[in-house]
């Protein structure tokens, strides 16, 4: 892939989710992504499981694809766009809600995103309140969330649950997200937790 040298300044790039191995590739394949990522300073992508793919069972891909992009782009910071309202899928089962916005946001963060965008930008008061709450919580935890993700084991294997950890200031932060519609009971194995007092937040 031949690219024109970019102009001076901070260069942001948003990819479609076709770079992710579980998603269908574009006709040109995935080889182009190395060059695209190399020419950006901050790399993000959009993956809208509810309103683009119409597949609520693919919500865990928000985490999986974010991890994949973080590996491809390292050590560059990455971000992800989060769907916040109806776009293509009118089926009530695909509705974007306060809960799905929070779930997708925390899946992206757990997967290693350094930032979030929310799309489309013409949202109402309810979405605005939800986004504000997410942003406030991220700001409170920002120093920890910007640390490198640590793996967390999940037993038994649960298709809808994703988790990662961060170590900061002598504490270990575990981010666990249930992307499914039902209750999931799992055991999390995180590094450095042995003998520590535990506290659940949120």
* pLDDT of 1 over the 60 cut: no
pLDDT band at 160 (very low <50, low <70, confident <90, very high): very high
- Residue 50 is predicted with a pLDDT of 97
Express each pLDDT in 26-59 by its tens digit. Answer: 999 999 999 999 999 999 999 999 999 999 999 9
- Residue 193's contacts (CB-CB under 8 Å, 6 or more residues apart) are 172, 174
Express each pLDDT in 62-106 by its tens digit. Answer: 999 999 999 999 999 999 999 999 999 999 999 999 999 999 999
Cβ atoms of residues 198 and 182 within 8 Å: no
- How far apart, in whole angstroms, are the C-alpha atoms of residue 159 and residue 18? 21
């Amino acid at each position: 892939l031949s690219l024109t040298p970019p102009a001076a300044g901070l260069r942001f790039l948003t990819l479609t989710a076709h770079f992710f191995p579980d998603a269908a590739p574009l006709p040109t394949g995935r080889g182009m992504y190395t060059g695209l990522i190399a020419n950006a300073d901050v790399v993000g992508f959009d993956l809208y499981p509810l309103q683009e793919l119409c597949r609520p069972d693919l919500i865990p891909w928000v985490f999986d694809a974010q991890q994949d992009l973080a590996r491809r782009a390292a050590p560059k910071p990455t971000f992800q766009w989060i769907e916040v309202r109806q776009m293509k899928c009118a089926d009530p089962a695909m509705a974007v809600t306060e809960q799905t916005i929070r779930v997708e946001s925390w899946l992206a963060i757990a997967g290693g995103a350094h930032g979030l965008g929310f799309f489309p930008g013409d949202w109402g008061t309810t979405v605005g309140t939800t986004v504000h709450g997410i942003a406030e919580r991220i700001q409170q935890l920002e120093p920890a969330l910007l640390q490198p993700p640590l793996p967390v084991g999940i037993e038994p294997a649960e298709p809808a649950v994703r988790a990662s950890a961060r170590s900061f200031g002598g504490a270990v932060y575990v981010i666990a997200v249930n992307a499914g519609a039902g209750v999931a009971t799992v055991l999390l194995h995180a590094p450095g937790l042995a003998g520590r007092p535990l506290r659940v937040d949120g």
